Structures are given as structure tokens and as C-alpha cells.
Copies of this chain bind each other. A is one copy, B any other.
Amino acid sequence: MTRLWNDPADFADEMIDGFVAANGRYVRRVTGGVARSTQTPEGQVAFVTGGGSGHYPAFGGLVGPGLAHGAAMGNLFASPSTQQVLSVARAAENGGGVFLSYGNYAGDVLNFDAAQEQLRAAGIPCQTVAVTDDVSSAGKDEIHKRRGIAGDLTVFRIAGAAAERGLNLDEVTRLARRANDRTRSFGVAFSGCSLPGADEPLFEVKEGHMAIGLGIHGEPGLGDAAIPTADGLAEMLVARLLDELPADVTSARGARVVPVLNGLGSLKYEEMFVVYRRIAQLLSEEGITAVDPHVGEYCTSFDMAGTSLTLLWLDDELEDLWDTGVDTPAYRRGSVDASQLVLASADEVAGEDVIGDADDASRAIAKTIADAFDVWRTTIDENVDELGRLDAIAGDGDHGIGMQRGIHAAQAAARDAASRGAGAATTLARAADAWSDKAGGTSGAIWGAILAAVSGHLGDAGVPSASALAQGLEAAKERVAAFGAVPGDKTLVDSLNPLVETFSARVASGGSVGDAWRAAADAATAAAAATSDMLPQMGRARAHHEKALGIPDPGAHSLALLAQALLSTAQ
């Protein structure tokens, strides 16, 4: 359990500050995370990683010569926002393009992909590889759906080594992809973890039992079993990984692998060494050579107790790269020639914040928007635990705190903009940016997109018409659809679409904005409730996800809550 914090809302930021204070030799603080304290050599590919905080040394602890050039550091267990990834990438980039790599989670994919698009639009070449090493998170035929866990380390090291050697962006990408193709992990967990300020652990594992294949944010695994002996666990981990050799590894016998026995936080070194003893024996018995074994904490989950075994199946090219020296706050290997490193200049200066013109009518709407965010903020604050509880059943339990971070940031930004004379469009756009930037994760990106889409139809002059609002909502629906979920996937789409369709239909048949919204809110509420009978999108194939039956989707539910709350301010 987590015990030390000041204001839980400040935890991630203060953690990054302390991390930088302790590691100024290695890293400097940039907006959105950290970059190396030394400049990326001109023309070298800048390798930027990132993800939610709470997994130290992933991701900031892995920034330094031979490994990453920067890390976007999101909130606890929440993806960094698109803006954070972009900001770190821009700080690290120096003419060689940007290589992005991260663990394969929906929120990270969304935000890293969006950052990649924006970098390319700005003329900066960019490629990404999402790490998919966790064999328990999807079948062999759906490897692209697998989550990334401690295999992050092996993929990142190959990418970092390739960049360090001056290979170009295509080569770095090819090699990182090859490392990912040849990296497999399998893990177990013995206990959950609790985030700062949370009353309860994110999840629990039955005493004396272990959850097999459980995710590093508590995502459901393959089932439970009694905790075996240390040797029994080693045998289970090795057997599962030898059961699925990477496609181009023809035989385990004679192979060379890098084994990484990773601790999740409070399983300790001594126990891991006892387990590794048997792993080493088993690999040797199978005729496999262990190269540079790793036993320690490389990708944690706060103080969760558990461990995973990762195998990187080497080939000559990968093994050659593996020898590259690395020097980062949390990970050092071999030696790095520090003589050629140049200190980076001070962090970029923030641009001036100018509010555009608006007329009085739009400014009045802006105040109403700010008032609406006040109400929304109260609504989410009152429901934060319940939303977390719903999310914990099939997801990672952070929906409540993610929504809370987003709504608090959006409310402050809207109030600030409105008080400084911004019009309706600008006020809502500021709220949208603040939401996606501070909330991070999937829901942060989606809510940012919804608000930004509506904002595009409000204007900063005059009172927007009912049909303009309907167009804005239709645009939001399209933006959200572009994220990939379809109706019936048990996502926010299931309540957003009925809301938008009902609103549009009422407006088209001459209804007032107030009446149309009332009907739309009711449609969203009914639809959110109906998600109780659906299986969740990500776990469709998994029988244990059936426990998510009977509870509404938390995203659909929070949309409905906010739609209802808005009735008290809409007219």
C-alpha cells in the first residue's frame, strides 16, 4: 500500500520533481516528462518512451546514454497525453527523427499515435513500436493485442542501442520490432497495490493464492492458483515461455536468450534469486544459454507483489546490440564514453498566453460553460469512487480518478478563460486541452476530442444555434468513432451515440436546445444502463470477463451522469 504523499493530486508531478532532483546528472525536466541532461547528438534518432507513472524504473529511470532520450511521464497508471509525448519528443529531437516505443495499452496507443501524426505533420519523421510481450493477455493469433510488461526493457534496450550506434530511423524501427517479435513474458501476482490517497487496493488476490497472467495495472489474468514452491513457479514460468517460441526461432536447444526475472514491487530480491536458481537450471537442461541474466525490478507496479519472466531470444544482430553500454538513473551496463556528451540548454520557454477576441453574447455563453464545468466537477467528485469501482471489474480501476483529474483541469481552464473574456469556442477549447493534458489515458484523450469537436461549432461571437450544437455533437461522435470502438463494445460510444442521435433528431424536428438535451440525456442514461448486458470490448474472448456482466460500462455511465448533470444548467 502507498503511504507517503502530500496532496494525492500532486503526487505524479512531485514524484517527477524529486526524481529529477536526485538525478540531475542524467535528466532534465521538460514539459510532459524528462529528457536527457545532455543533447541528442545531431542526426541521431531520438528514442522517446513513456507511459503512466507507478512503474519505476519505467519510464523516466531508463533515460540516458544507450537507452532512451526522453520519457513522457503520465499520471499514475494513466497514459501521458498527446501534448506530453509531443513536448518530450520535441525536446529530444535533433535532426534524426523520433522513435516512439511504449507498452501496448489503449490510452498509450492513442496518445503516442496522435503525437506521431502531429510530429509527421510538422515535418519530423516518426515511427512507433508498441511492446506486446505478455503472452497471457491475448492468444498467439492476436499478438498485436498483447500488453507490454517487463519486455519493455529488452525492446527499449535494442532501440536505444541502435540509436546510439547512429542507425537511421528505419533501422531503429526494424530492430525494435524484431526485438519485440522475439520477446515473450509471463507473470504472476500475489497482491494488489493501492494508489496514493486510495482507501482500498486496486484489486486483491486471495491470501495464499496467485493470479496467473494478471496485468501490471490489475487487468484480469488467466485465473488463480495456490502459490507453488519457488521451484514450482520457476517451472511454470519457463514451461509457458518454451511452449510458444517466437515465429523465427526454430528450436529452443542451442538458442541464446536474455532472461529477465522482474519484480513488481514488493516481492523481494532474495525470493527472486531462489526462483532464478531453478530457472537457470531449467534453461540449461533445455540446452539454452542464458546471456546477461537480469534479476531485479525493471517494470514495477507500485508495491504490488508479483514477478514475471521475460525471455529475449537473441540472434547475432540483437546480441551485438545488447553489448552497448547504458548509463541511466536506474539501469547501468558496461561503460559509456561521457567525454563527448554536451549538456542540454535550459528547458524551452513557455509561449505567451493570448486570449482571442469575443463578443458579449459569446462571453455570456462562456460563463455558462464555466458554470457547467463547476457542476460537472461536483458530479464527478461525488461519483469518483463508484466510477473507479465499476472500472476495476474489467479495467484498471482508474476511470474515476482519470475523470476527476480531467474535470478539475478543464473546470479551472474554463473558469480562467471565461474570466479573462474568452468567447464560448475558446473557453471550451481550453477546457478540452486541459482535460486531455491532465487526465491522460484513454478517457482523457476521448473527452478532449469530444469537447474540442463541439468547441469547433460554437464560435467566439453570437449565440450558437441549436443546429450548430447538433453539428458539434455529430463531429464529436465522428471523432470518437475514429478511436476504433463500435457500438456494442461496451464503451462510452454506447451512450454517446444515442445521446448525439437523439439530440440531432429533436433539434431537426424543431425542439429547443433544453428539450433536446433532456431527451438526449435520458437516451444516454438508458443506453449506459443497457451496457450492463454486454461483454467488454477488450476482454470479449475471455470467459472471466463475464463478471463484468451486470455492471454498466464506466465510460458510458460517466457520460450519462454528466449529461444529466448538465440539465441543471441547460435551458
**Bound complex: CA of A305 vs CA of B268, how far in Å?**
12
- Bound CA–CA A39/B338 (angstroms): 28
Q: Is A547 close to B, CB under 8 A?
A: no
> Which of A12-20, A524-532, A563-571 interfaces with chain B?
A12-20
* 11 interchain pairs, CB-CB under 8 A: A5-B230, A5-B274, A18-B295, A19-B276, A22-B276, A22-B280, A56-B268, A56-B270, A57-B269, A196-B271, A265-B266
Residue contact A15 to B303, C-beta cutoff 8 Å: no
Contact A274 B332 (CB under 8 A): no
Query: Among A18, A265, A276, A277, which residue has the most Cβ atoms of chain B within 10 A?
Result: A18
The 3 A-B pairs of least Cβ separation, nearest first, read A18-B277, A266-B266, A18-B273
Contact A4 B227 (CB under 8 A): yes
Q: A3-B305, A18-B275 are in contact. List 12 more A-B contacts (CB 8 A).
A: A3-B271, A4-B229, A6-B230, A14-B273, A15-B274, A17-B273, A18-B295, A22-B293, A56-B268, A56-B270, A76-B270, A296-B330
| Inter-chain contact B303/A305, CB cutoff 8 Å | yes
* B residues less than 8 Å from A272 (CB atoms): 4, 18
Most buried by B among A11, A19, A338: A19
B277 and A21 form a contact (CB under 8 A): yes
Chain A, 1-39, CB within 8 A of any chain B CB = 1-6, 11, 14-19, 21-23, 25
Cβ-neighbour of A18 out of B23, B276, B335, B338 (below 8 A): B276
Closest to A2 in B: B271
Q: A128 at the A/B interface (Cβ < 8 Å)?
A: no
Instruction: Give the distance to chain B from A452, nearest Cβ to Cβ, in Å.
Output: 31
A74: Cβ under 8 A from any B Cβ: no
Note all chain B residues with C-beta closer than 8 A to A269.
56-57, 61, 300
Residues of B within 8 A of A167 (CB): none
A231 adjacent to chain B (CB < 8 Å): yes
Set of chain B residues within 8 Å of A333, measured between Cβ atoms: 332
**Which chain B residues border A233 with CB–CB below 8 Å?**
4
A387 at the interface (CB under 8 A from B): no
A336 part of interface (Cβ distance < 8 Å): yes
Q: Is A302 an interface residue (CB 8 A)?
A: yes
A553 to chain B, nearest CB (A): 29
Contacts of A300 in B (CB 8 A): 268-269
Chain B hits for A267, CB < 8 A: 3-4, 303
Does B5 contact A229, Cβ atoms closer than 8 Å?
yes
Q: Which residues of B have CB within 8 Å of A305?
A: 1, 3, 266, 303
